Amino acid sequence: MVNLESIEAAAARIGASIYESPLMHSKMLSRLTGNSVFLKLENLQMTGAFKERGALNRILTLTDEERRQGVIAASAGNHGQGVAYHATQRGIPAQIWMPRLTPLIKLSATRAYGADVVLHGDNYDEACAAAIERSRERKAVFIHPFDDDAVIAGQGTIGLELLKQNPDLDVIVVPVGGGGLIGGIGCAVKERNPRVEIVGVQTARLPSMQAALQQQGPVDLPAKSTLADGIAVRRAGQRTVPLVSRYVDRMVTVDEDDIAEAILTLLEGEKTLAEGAGAVALAAVLQGKTDHRGKNIAVLVSGGNLDVNLLARIIEQGMVRDGRRLRLRILLPDYPGALEGLTAVISKARANIVETSYNRAHYGVSLNEAAIDITMETRGRDHASELLAALTSARYEFSVVE
């Protein structure tokens, strides 16, 4: 059973091996939201996420016989890394089952920590079912990523740290997948200080905990892809739903664009890298989903294992949304010097050309015309508007390419 005593015992058990992540005050985020915002940086853990707390707590409760048999886990990435790292450190064989589309950074790291990695299924649930079956065949201990009392208690140690680091917190905002993290934190915090509000955040594409609370028990949702792959759980935990029902004040959801914006805000404003699941709590605060003003708010940045290719796309799309990247299709007369005249207007407007594509045969151009697609960097929406005004004044015909 998960209670304050079991969480305090977990804190004592894992304390020597787990980094007490900082609770950092953000002036920038506080100004943006009208609250005093503190970031709990669990992305700074050895494996890049909070998951190793629960994994280690479960590993340290194994009997000698269970250690010899080894452990098996299923994971979208972070839980597997935590199990792999701490099991291998203690000479315990670990096999991690992961979905075939697991981001490369998480797959490579899990193997590097010493685990035998098996890729199976198109989503976490399929990998999990196969991993449970294999654990039965091998008589190995299956370490569940969230529906295990020792795992939940390990995650709950974050709540104890938060109260120690800032006793004046009014609100704690937590990412939610299967519910182990928020269940543990909620129990630890509410049992010590019931006045602190606990808010859970899920991706709108897979609100499994929200559905479970409405139905008063876990339900299966259809699989969907999401930027927040670390919390892409179709079914909330049997053990976690009662904890969330008891200790969590509110559940909210955020959209994919909100998550991407939060990742970019953390990267640019705080020089902090968060993966999709790690940024959902901040996304909710930035979008006003938590509905607070003038409060001391702790926002959990739960992980930072983000694939660099995905990060590049998030940055590029974020620049487009902010008006800092603009793509235009411009009609030009097809004679020598026409392009030079166009680039002179763009140069005078202080925009930076990053890509061009010249075409004489498509987009409905006439025989004496050409179309050129130009991608440019600007300083933002106001600067982009100035550029468009300059092109209009120079009598160029153009359209914005979405």
Catalytic residue positions, numbered:
51, 302
Residues 6+ apart with CB under 8 A from 259: 203, 227, 228, 276, 279, 280, 283
Inter-residue contact 218 to 210 (CB < 8 Å): no
Single-letter code of the amino acid located at 215: Q
Q: How far, in whole angstroms, is CA 343 from its chain's centroid?
A: 40
Q: How far apart are CA 105 and CA 343, in angstroms?
A: 40
Residue length, the chain? 402
Three-class SS state of 372:
strand
Helices (H), 61-207: 64-69, 78-89, 104-112, 124-138, 149-165, 180-192
The beta-carbon contacts of 335-339 under 8 Å, at least 24 apart in sequence, are 338/370, 339/372
Q: Decide: helix, strand or coil at residue 189.
A: helix
Between CA 82 and CA 87 the distance in angstroms is 8
Helices 149-165 and 180-192, packing angle to 10 deg: 50
For residue 71, give every residue at least 6 positions away whose Cβ sits within 8 Å of its Cβ, in sequence order, or none: 59, 62, 83, 87, 92, 93, 94, 95, 140, 141, 142, 143
